[in-house]
Amino acid sequence: MNVSPSALSHSELYGLILNSVVPRPIAWVSTLSTSGQPNLAPFSFFNCVCIEPPLLAFAPGLRPPKQPDSSHGEAKDTLRNVRETREFVINVVTFELAETMNQTSGEYPASVNEFELAQIAPAPSKVVKVPRVAASPVSFE
């Protein structure tokens, strides 16, 4: 299959990429704002990219522009928190956590604590201030 990304709509390209790279792990990223407000959000663009040095990558997008004539959207809470605090935790999502994880995928105001919203317990991390998902079998700080 030969496809030119510029010939596809955003929705078509998104669908093609998401349905071609499988199985696709989900990064369930926990962060804290500078005021200490917890945030928990899933990212379907996530993977291990290098072992030396050990690197994981996830790709937080921008919210759509509020003004129709604007070309840039606003940073989502996760991206803003990471930029401001330089800390985050990537929690692995198991099948048993999938439905709970889906509850945290909404467009919520920054004041919403997704741990509380989804009724998922946080646990202290060892290296960073950001809490991890207690039920996740693997969390990368």
pLDDT at 80: 95
pLDDT at 39: 97
Report which of 57, 61, 62 is spatially closest to residue 74, judged by C-alpha positions.
62
CB contact at 8 A, 96 and 133: no
Amino acid at 141: E
CB contact at 8 A, 78 and 67: no
pLDDT at 11: 86
Mean pLDDT over 66-92 rounds to 87
Residue 114 CB neighbours (<10 A): 22
CA 123 to CA 96: how far, in whole Å? 18
pLDDT at 69: 64
CA 50 to CA 41: how far, in whole Å? 23
pLDDT at 71: 64
CA 18 to CA 27: how far, in whole Å? 14
pLDDT digits (tens, 9 = 90+) for 101-131: 999 999 899 999 999 999 999 999 999 999 9
Does 23 have pLDDT greater than 80?
no
pTM comes to 0.83
